[in-house]
């Protein structure tokens, strides 16, 4: 059985991994940028607003900004999947109650 203490330890390890693995991410361009550079159309790209520009938040220095972006990404992914799962479970419960 998963106790609150074990759950908090698991969450803590996940957050530490998210922060430090983000800092260790490659600084090389991603696939789309690489293709644009190789094919010569990178100069046609337009700047747009993004809070995750170059996988960093616009706060603090590079390491902290990258680590916090990783934490925020993990948090947003968790919230999205949790809401999706709750929606699927609620639909199944409603369908079972109708039968």
For the chain, 99 residues long, the average pLDDT of each consecutive 10-residue run is 87 90 77 87 80 78 86 91 90 68
Q: What angle do CA 23, 26, 28 make, to 5 degrees?
A: 140
Torsion angle of C-alpha atoms 28, 31, 33, 38, degrees rounded to 10: 100
What pLDDT is recorded for position 45? 78
What pLDDT is recorded for position 60? 78
What pLDDT is recorded for position 66? 87
Overall pTM surpassing 0.75 (yes/no): no
What pLDDT is recorded for position 29? 67
What pLDDT is recorded for position 1? 66
């Amino acid at each position: 059985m998963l106790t609150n203490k074990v759950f908090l330890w698991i969450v803590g390890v996940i957050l530490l991994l998210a922060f430090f693995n983000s800092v260790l991410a490659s600084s090389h361009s991603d696939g789309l940028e690489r293709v644009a550079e190789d094919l010569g159309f990178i100069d046609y790209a337009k700047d747009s607003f993004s809070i995750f520009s170059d996988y960093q938040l616009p706060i603090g220095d590079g390491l902290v900004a990258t680590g916090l972006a990783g934490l925020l990404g993990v948090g947003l992914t968790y919230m999205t999947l949790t809401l999706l799962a709750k929606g699927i479970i609620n639909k199944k419960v409603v369908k079972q109650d109708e039968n």
